[in-house]
Amino acid sequence: MRTRQLTLALCAVAAFLHAAPALAQRTTATIRGTVTDQTKAVVPGATVTVTGQSLSLSRTTTTTADGVYAFTDLPVDKYTIKVELPGFKTATRTDIVLNVADDRAIDFVLAPGGVNEEVRVVAESTPVKTVGGDVSGVITGQQVRELPLNGRNFLQLATLMPGVSAPDFLNVKDKGLLGGSDGLEPITLS
């Protein structure tokens, strides 16, 4: 009887550990920022709405006493952000592209004006990552289709990212798991 209880307890622990999520890999993104007025004073209580352009996702929040807003766990998509507060012109930014694990800081400066006035800004890609210290990248479907991968080994794609080097034993002639992704030694950042 005691052996059976011990076996059941060990199975329960193994099932719990097996079901633990891989927290090191993110599939979502974050948008955060600060809302200020033209004098650089923070604007608390502004309504901030983020809308996904292809997923029809919409979330709304209010800026804190420090004028800060944040939207976490956003799926990969192209977004529009709108900031509204009575006594100020509505500010809108469109075409904000979020990729996996992005943490984008998008600040707004509200101009005084009537409720009917709106300021629209089309977002451009930020050339330098201004939030966070992680290294990440996106390899597009077009790159996968057009790059000359010897043997079509998916691990070769990882070496396209800055700071990534392949171990000496990486076999690029075999496909998939036969090419060296058996977990003996991971691809490392240099």
- In the chain, where the domains are located: 29-122, 141-189
Indicate the pairing of strand 77-84 with strand 47-52. Answer: antiparallel
Structure tokens given for 109: 């400066």
Per-residue pLDDT tens over the stretch 3-27: 777 676 666 666 665 555 545 567 8
pLDDT tens digits for 72-95?
999 999 999 999 999 899 999 999
**β-bridge partners, 165:** 188
pLDDT score for 182: 47
Task: Spell out the alpha helix ranges (H) of the chain.
Answer: 2-18, 141-146, 155-158
Predicted confidence at residue 37, as pLDDT, reads 94
pLDDT of residue 109 exceeding 90:
yes
CATH homologous superfamily for 29-122? Carboxypeptidase-like, regulatory domain (2.60.40.1120)
Identify which of 89, 124, 86, 84 has the alpha carbon closest to the alpha carbon of residue 106: 124
pTM exceeding 0.75: no
Pairing of strands 29-37, 103-105: parallel
Q: How far apart are CA 83 and CA 48, in angstroms?
A: 5
Per-residue pLDDT at 147 = 77
- Cα 90 to the center of its chain, rounded Å: 26
Q: What is the mean pLDDT of residues 107-111?
A: 94
pLDDT of residue 171: 64
The separation between the first and the last C-alpha atoms of the chain, rounded to the nearest angstrom, is: 54
Q: Are 165 and 187 in contact (CB under 8 A)?
A: yes
Q: Does pLDDT of 185 surpass 70?
A: no
Residue (of 137, 179, 182) closest to 154 by Cα position: 179
Q: Which of 96-100, 166-170, 177-181 has the highest mean pLDDT?
A: 96-100
* φ, ψ of residue 184 in degrees (nearest 5): -65, -40
pLDDT for residue 30 is more than 70:
yes
